[in-house]
């Protein structure tokens, strides 16, 4: 992860899903695990990250994309992790999500290949392994809706723009 500030564009889940994912996260946090995940943003799937200098261009692109693309369903169907450091829910392959990602395909923040995921918990290997056991016990595949695109600046977190995708 870059040490300088950067922008991230993300696809945001509907309010009902936000509540379900918060309950999953709380089932871990309530046992005393603190984690390093960003807590003051909605649950989402990151689409791309950019240098700070791209802010105005991205605001315009987000507005344009939201005006020409509709909300869509997606299924979060399994628990997974990145190197026992990031615990997440992985969506099924989805043509609409892939299309959004292609519109914002840039990885300035960390250079890793894009892998669609909704982060639930981040921490050290031991805590993530234990959190995975907790989440796996509670998790049920979830049909959800992507309703908006947002952009924030990291770190510290500053939310910059939120635009709803069109309703069908």
Percent pLDDT > 90 in the chain is: 92
pLDDT digits (tens, 9 = 90+) for 50-67: 999 999 999 999 999 999
Confirm if 85 and 12 have CB atoms less than 8 A apart.
no
β-bridge partners, 149: 11, 163
What is the band of 110 on the pLDDT scale with cuts at 50, 70, 90?
A: confident
pLDDT digits (tens, 9 = 90+) for 130-142: 999 999 999 999 9
Read off the tokens for 86.
């990031």
96: alpha, beta or left, given left = phi > 0 and alpha = psi -120 to 50?
alpha
Confirm if 151 and 161 have CB atoms less than 8 A apart.
yes
28: alpha, beta or left, given left = phi > 0 and alpha = psi -120 to 50?
alpha
Kindly state the DSSP code that residue 149 receives in the 8-state scheme.
E
Which sequence spans correspond to the domains of the chain?
Answer: 6-159
pTM of the predicted protein model: 0.95
85, burial (CB in 10 Å: exposed 0-12, middle 13-18, buried 19+):
middle
Distance of CA 98 to the CA centre of its chain: 14
Confirm if 100 and 149 have CB atoms less than 8 A apart.
yes
- In this prediction, residues 147-163 reach a mean pLDDT of 96
Predicted confidence at residue 2, as pLDDT, reads 56
Confirm if 71 and 145 have CB atoms less than 8 A apart.
yes
6: alpha, beta or left, given left = phi > 0 and alpha = psi -120 to 50?
beta
CATH number attached to the domain at 6-159: 3.90.1140.10
- Please state at what angle helix 125-138 crosses helix 15-29, rounded to 10 degrees: 130
């Amino acid at each position: 992860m870059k040490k300088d500030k950067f922008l991230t564009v993300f696809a945001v889940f509907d309010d009902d899903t936000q509540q379900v994912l918060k309950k999953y996260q709380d089932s871990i946090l309530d046992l005393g695990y603190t984690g390093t995940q960003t807590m003051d943003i909605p649950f989402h799937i990151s689409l791309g990250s950019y240098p700070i200098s791209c802010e105005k261009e991205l605001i315009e692109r987000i507005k344009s994309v939201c005006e020409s693309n509709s909300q869509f369903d997606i299924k979060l169907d399994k628990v997974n992790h990145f190197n026992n450091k990031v615990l997440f829910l992985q969506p099924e392959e989805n043509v609409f999500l892939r299309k959004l990602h292609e519109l914002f395909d840039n990885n300035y923040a960390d250079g890793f290949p894009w892998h669609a995921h909704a982060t639930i918990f981040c921490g050290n290997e031991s805590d993530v392994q234990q959190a995975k056991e907790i989440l796996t016990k509670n998790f049920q595949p979830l049909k959800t809706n992507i309703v908006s695109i947002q952009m924030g600046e990291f770190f510290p977190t500053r939310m910059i723009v939120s635009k709803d995708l069109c309703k069908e």
